[in-house]
Amino acid sequence: MNYKPTTLAARAGEHAKETPSRPLVEPIYQNTVFAFDDLDHMEEVFSEQTPSNGGIYYRFNTPNHLTLEGALAALEKTEDAVCAASGMAAIAAAFQAVLGQGDHLIADQQAYGGTYTLLTQELPRWGIEVTLLDITDLEAVERAITPRTRLIHLESLTNPLMTTVNLPALIEMAHAKGVLVSVDNTFATPALFRPAEHGADLVSHSLSKYLSGHSNALGGALAGRKDLISQARMRLIRQGATLSAFDAWITLQGLKTLGLRMRAHTQNAQAVADVLSNHPRVAAVYHPGLSDHPQFDLAGDLFPDGFGGMLSFELRGDLNAFIRRLHGKIPLAPSLADVNTTLSYPWTTSHRSLDEKRKLELGIRPTLLRLSVGIEDIEDILNDLEDALNL
């Protein structure tokens, strides 16, 4: 066809190239829409008679989304998974997949501050009743269940105090009463703990943390039963809360080293916890690998491969002086799970939305610091901390 220059320019590169070899790393599918052969082909894909392989529309999915979702479902050992624009979007989608107006949700009062705000400020606006309690008290959880209770939500390791629960017993009790269980597994990751193996119905993650691992991707994920993931996916698509192809792609690159990184994070965090627990300037350390942790024995049973890279500690003396002495070595940053060690201040970051009285009730004190221990050489991490502590 003898097309004119304007047409040739507009249609340049619109046909995929087939090559005798294949890329070792999946390319980024940055295009926002895919084309179909005819109406029959389009209907087959939209009605899922024919697998789309990610070829519909950017908000629905791309090959990058499907590759990452398949990897996450395999890691968490669930039937399906869906990616979201953030960890909070994934948790919200989990709630929307299960709950409707008039339903009741039970959640751990130790939930991450963003989740706490969602539970206390947004869910009531949706007509959902929320009960917050100490999830480690299984008798209290059982007493709180009503005929309208549909879901229990908790974290496998809480942020920032690192508590855990007898998850198998909790799930058995919940399922006996017809209640589903949702677990935020961000701190542990499937490299160390897989809630679905204990019967959890939904498992959420902030992809921005350990799964991507390098503070360069924003996203969330939800894994679980296929019927529940289908409901969550529909909500995410309708609300425009799906992940970008680039964030899916870069998360998958980080995911490849998850096992190696989590072993290093785990070993380093345990070593730091041991040292800090014996330092005169440290009033308390919160880490499941310490014998004074309230769930020490339980955590050892549930997490035989360790607890990841997170811990918190309370400092005696001037926090700002300690933080300033770490400047250029261990940054103060309102996130976690980078390969570099970082420090955070829950009082004004992760739990900023809670009032002072509630923070104190939950054990979030102005003296509390959260440490995300990286994969650097442990001697260097310890030296940096000890230099800052020894004022």
Provide the annotated active-site residues.
Answer: 59, 112, 184, 209
Nearest to 91 by CA among 181, 205, 7, 172: 205
Strand order in the sheet with 80-84: 80-84, 220-224, 202-206, 180-184, 149-155, 104-108, 129-133
Tokens of 205: 């993650």
Class of residue 300 by CB neighbours under 10 A (exposed 0-12, middle 13-18, buried 19+)? middle
Q: Looking only at Cα atoms, what is the longest distance across the chain?
A: 83
Report CA dihedral (112, 116, 118, 119) to the nearest 10 degrees.
130
